[in-house]
Structure 1
């Protein structure tokens, strides 16, 4: 019995919301981890550099773990599919480890051990959850599905802030337990409702494995996929990964350095400067779904390039206005532009994948490139600030966005047009 268009659309909406739930659950703990673990470390460590190094440990682990676990899940075959086994095991373990973190705060070695354990486990299912989107959603609808996922991710920032405001001062252990409980409830819902062995991508991967069994073992290796991307005469995938790193650098710098920027150049207090990005978070949520719809109508690369150009222009606008209200408006415009990249870049990468066999690997590569940008961006822009001063920080960020737009994304568009012309 075949399903009609209405039933198919309902099924796509359902799996989109479930994929968003999986990402919301894991990001709710990550956001709270990033905001509330540093004060625990500061009780033992006075050096901001050491605290920053320990907080960056999860990104370093992710560089090694995420592509590997994504590749492992690509080639897993069980009665529940290839993604759910990792989520069903990993999410409860991560939730327990996360809830225990504040109970170890009195001992620095135990605290670091719990941080390492949580980061290790949480990194092991991050790309797996994100790969549910290309597994279930057809290419033409992936942008809007990924927009819903990104909205869910943005909502976790608000949720983490609310938990911090309401509970962290008086009930720190309860505050950590709430994101952990959200993760446990979410995986219970996912385990009861998702069978990713029924996804189109899983069925295609199984069929491909059966048709060419001799190539399966080679494709299991992450380095094989990376070598294929690096040596492919069509540089689209390689350039897109570079764009993810570059724009990830610009985005991370615009978020992590905005507080000292406000204090140094706008004469704001620490609290007021820290609130500069809050309205832009709402702007991102409002812009994410329209960014997906525009991409489906006008082309993803075109919308990505336009969004990055808007982001860069907004950085210049913030420099020119140079008031708290002006910078807030500029950050809102920048966030709306950035949504065009954040919603669509992963979709372009998935759609450039040679087969459904490697969706998890590609999800892992996107994650590590974005994390790499998040690690390098604040340091690079910080070095530029040392040379040019805090007043020009937004201009420095603009330069990164311009390089990503002109030198990378525009080049990808040229390559894709050449490939299409050669195929005629």
Structure 2
């Protein structure tokens, strides 16, 4: 495993996720100035993810074409980040609902377009046999962004909301610039041997569009692609719902301030950061699908602990357990899809398949969970989430059953 390459890719993913974590923590509370319904807030937070369903397959396919050139996927990433930073920083300056919606939609549309391309970078610099381990280090970087987002919420939000929203996009631009400076210049040397090697890559037919790739993958009778995408949809949806609605839950049920509520995810982020690399190494032995199944069980256990113990310590314990459960999914889901790709030249497009499943879940999950809160109460949010996560457990149980044929996943 090329450690310096993994470090630079981690830096790029860190830059991107730092913005998204702060967005998920603070934008719902911004929307509460205009909406009282948790279902409506969840719907708006979910709809921004729907942009990825529309844009990422095409952008991922284009990045697969660009990957053969000198700069590879980097132009898409750098230009997208620079443009997305503007509407994000303007969110706290929006003085009415139309202005706020314009800023939120503009950021989501642009940032979602290049999000999957950044995540695909690891496949350009790391050989397939080492990607699961590399994902462990990269997701540790993602865990660190939750820590950074929580610290910004704790230390800055209650003092200056405008400054708080300016810090994450500034970090994103600096970190992506550093990653490109160290990694982007030697892209060609890093990726060409991988792209040219192997008889399999030479015999696979060319696809004319990203939709042809998706149609071929979904209709393959021997592939677990469709069921795997269902599992990704379910798990990503509940995790997104939990992240999007945790700040309002903490203010309503636990009586915390907005800044304190935004920082409540910090202990879970630390646990994620500490354990994600060991989880990545364990996944190579247990199998990726089986590991994800165990992770969903731990995720459900955390939610039940939080419901039974509705206090700050109980919620912290719930977030720690749930974060560890989510770590198994974060490390393995994308690699499992990459392993199904017919050629290494289509990894950007297969990342788009992951995006379609995960972004669909993220689009609907907050609205579904928010609607159950409207029908019951904020007090039952974690119990409602545990019920829906149980469906996810059944999906991964079905996927993990024929392990001899799918051990490579």
With 338-347 and 110-119 compared, the bigger mean Cα shift is at: 110-119
Q: Distance in 2 between matches of 1:70 and 1:354?
A: 16
Equivalence for 1:6: none
Q: Aligned match of 1:409 in 390, 396, 408? A: 396
Distance 2:217 2:5 in 1: 30
> What RMSD over aligned residues (CA atoms) do the two structures have, in Å?
3.4
**Residue 132 of structure 1: CA displacement?**
0.8
Question: TM-score if structure 2 supplies the norm length?
Answer: 0.84
Residue in 1 aligned with 2:235?
247
Equivalent residues in 2 for 1:285-304 (5 A)?
A: 285-304=273-292
User: Are positions 1:86 and 2:76 aligned together?
Assistant: yes
Write the distance in 1 (CA, Å) between the matches of 2:271 and 2:317: 10
2:340 maps to what in 1?
352
Residue 363 of structure 1 and its aligned partner are, at CA, apart by 1.5
Distance 2:80 2:68 in 1: 16
Question: Alignment partner of 2:290: what SS?
Answer: helix
The answer to whether the 8 A contact 2:288-2:332 is kept is yes
76-85 vs 58-67, which moves further:
76-85
For the residue of structure 1 that corresponds to 2:61, the secondary structure is helix
Change (3 A) 1:313 1:235: farther
Alignment of structure 1 residues 148-163 onto 2, 5 Å: 148-163=137-152
Q: Does 1:75 align with 2:65?
A: yes
Quick one: distance in 2 between partners of 1:100 and 1:253?
A: 24
Please give the residue correspondences for 1:189-338 in structure 2 after superposition, counting only pairs within 5 Å: 189-194=178-183, 195-200=186-191, 203-204=194-195, 211=202, 215-216=205-206, 219-258=207-246, 268-271=254-257, 276-321=264-309, 324-338=312-326
Residues 116-162 of structure 1: per-residue CA shift (max 9 Å, x gap): 33323222211111001122222232222112222222222222333
Q: Give CA-to-partner distance per residue, 1:168-202, whole Å, 9 cap, x none.
A: 45554443333232222223223322233333477
Q: Contact 1:201/1:356 (CA < 8 Å) preserved in 2?
A: no
Over 3 Å counting, the alpha-carbon distance change for 1:30 and 1:332 in structure 2 is closer
Map 1:6-45 onto structure 2 (within 5 A): 9=1, 12-37=2-27, 45=34
Write the distance in 2 (CA, Å) between the matches of 1:289 and 1:167. Answer: 30
Structure 1 residue 242, shift from structure 2 partner: 0.5
Deviation at 1:91, TM superposition (A): 2.1
Does residue 52 of structure 2 align to residue 62 of structure 1?
yes
Q: 1:111 & 1:257 partners in 2: Cα distance?
A: 18
Q: Secondary structure at the match of 1:82?
A: coil
CA contact (8 A) 2:227 2:399 kept: yes
Count of matched residue positions in the alignment of Structure 1 and Structure 2: 402
Residue 128 of structure 2: which of 128, 139, 144 is its match? Answer: 139
CA distance in structure 1 between the aligned counterparts of 2:68 and 2:170, rounded to whole angstroms: 27
**Which one is further off, 347-356 or 331-340?**
331-340
- Does residue 130 of the first structure (1) align with residue 119 of the second (2)? yes
User: Displacement, 1:110?
Assistant: 5.0
Could you tell me the TM-score, scaled by structure 1's length?
0.81
5+ residue gaps in structure 1? 1-8
Looking at structure 1, the residues matched to 113 and 193 of structure 2 have their Cα atoms a distance apart, in angstroms, of: 20
What is the distance in 2 between the residues matched to 1:82 and 1:97? 26
Counterpart Cα distance in 2 of 1:38 and 1:381: 14
* Structure with greater contact order relative to length (CA < 8 Å, sep ≥ 6): 2
- Does the CA-based 8 Å contact 1:71-1:220 persist in structure 2? no
The CA distance in 1 between the partners of 2:103 and 2:24, in whole Å, is 14
Q: What's the CA shift for 1:101?
A: 4.7
Q: Kindly tell me: are residues 257 and 298 of structure 1, through their superposed partners in 2, closer, same or farther at Cα, counting changes over 3 Å?
A: same
Cα distance change, pair 184–312 in 1 and its aligned pair in 2 (3 A): closer
Verify the 8 A CA contact 2:254 2:310 in the aligned structure 1.
Answer: no
SS class of match (1:352): coil
2:154–2:262 contact (8 Å) kept in structure 1: no
